[in-house]
Amino acid sequence: MMHHTTLGRTGLKVSVAGIGTGGFSRLGLKTGLSEDQAAALIHEAFDLGVNFIDTAPSYGTEGVVGKALKTLPRDRVVVATKAQIGRGGNFAPAARVVESLDNSLRALGVETIDVFNLHGIEPQEYDHAINVIAPALVREKEKGKIRHIGLTENPITDFTNATLKRALHDPVWEVVMVGFSMLHQGARTNVFPLTQANGIGTLLMFAVRSIFADPPRIAREMRAMAEQGLVDKALGESDDPLGFLVHAAGASNVTEAAYRYVRHEPGVDVVLFGTGSAKHLRENVAAINKPPLPEDDRARLKALFGHLTNGVGLDGHAGGTR
């Protein structure tokens, strides 16, 4: 059974599992699914109780989401999309971001976007986001095109939540998307105390990247980190350094453990997952709805990895690490 929560002060009632349409699978489009098949996955997620859908123009999936929305009850689905504001100091003017919003409304076939996020804002881009783009988004919100305004960090380069440490003090942002995982726990101190205090909704990304489904890679990364003195030497000598999570009273596999770990972290609202298959979809939803990991396992994960700020496992969509 799907659990639900309220997305911060937005008041939106959301499923704790949210379907992300980017990442490595892009709803299966990257592995050969047709748009109709990808839209059917969204329907299957909805039937399982998932009512939060996250997309973005750069994912190439807004049209698929729009296709699915045609036959879903609009008032029972929360749709989030994004806009980029430029890269490397070459910033987009506010009009370009508003144009992106209008394009998204058309592609999604909706009159209002529930959560409109600025996409992957890096620390050096934040001034432009808050001073130039945010006022324009507030005007679009007043016109009814947006219900709530947010932003997403870029964990692939920003390992210490530098963007969000600033953004969480600016009241325009009602929702943030943050990277958090068993091996990347900084948001526990950097982000969640402030989001909880200020009623900011949180969308969780990077809970599971390819590392957790690749035991040999976990072992390689641990070996490298042990050699640098970043983790306990014994972890570097193990072929299965996260194997302690899999036991009768714990998780059935490491991926399940990864979802359960982040889902029950205080301050986490929606855990986003990507998928390209119905089987994978059902497994992810089941994992996110399971109870917390045993307290001993949670404590051990915090003790072993809570100090890491090196971005291990934060793979980009192209498959590159860090």
The pairing of beta strand 13-15 with beta strand 4-6: antiparallel
| Residues contacting 299, CB < 8 A, separation 6+ | none
Residue 187 CB-density burial (10 A; 0-12 exposed, 13-18 middle, 19+ buried): buried
Q: How confident is the model at residue 103 (pLDDT cuts 50, 70, 90)?
A: very high
Cα 259 to chain centroid, rounded: 12
Task: Express each pLDDT in 106-144 by its tens digit.
Answer: 999 999 999 999 999 999 999 999 999 999 999 999 999
User: What pLDDT was estimated at residue 321?
Assistant: 32
**Which DSSP state fits 319?**
S
Total-model pTM: 0.96
Q: pLDDT confidence of 56, banded at 50, 70, 90?
A: very high
Whether residue 224 has pLDDT greater than 80: yes
Q: Which residue ranges make up each domain of the chain?
A: 13-209+266-291
Across 60-81, average pLDDT: 97
- Give the tens place of pLDDT for each residue, 136-188: 999 999 999 999 999 999 999 999 999 999 999 999 999 999 999 999 999 99
Confidence check: pLDDT of 60 > 90: yes
- Mean pLDDT within 179-206: 97
Cβ count near 204 (within 10 Å):
26
What DSSP assignment string belongs to 62-118? Answer: HHHHHHHHTTS-GGG-EEEEEE--EETTEEPPHHHHHHHHHHHHHHHT-S-EEEEEE
Q: How confident is the model at residue 316 (pLDDT cuts 50, 70, 90)?
A: low
pLDDT of residue 115: 98
CATH of domain 13-209+266-291: 3.20.20.100
pLDDT of residue 320: 34
pLDDT at res. 12: 98
Count of CB atoms within 10 A of residue 9's CB? Answer: 14
Q: 3-class SS at 158?
A: coil
The pLDDT, as a whole number, for residue 206 is 93
Average pLDDT, the chain: 95
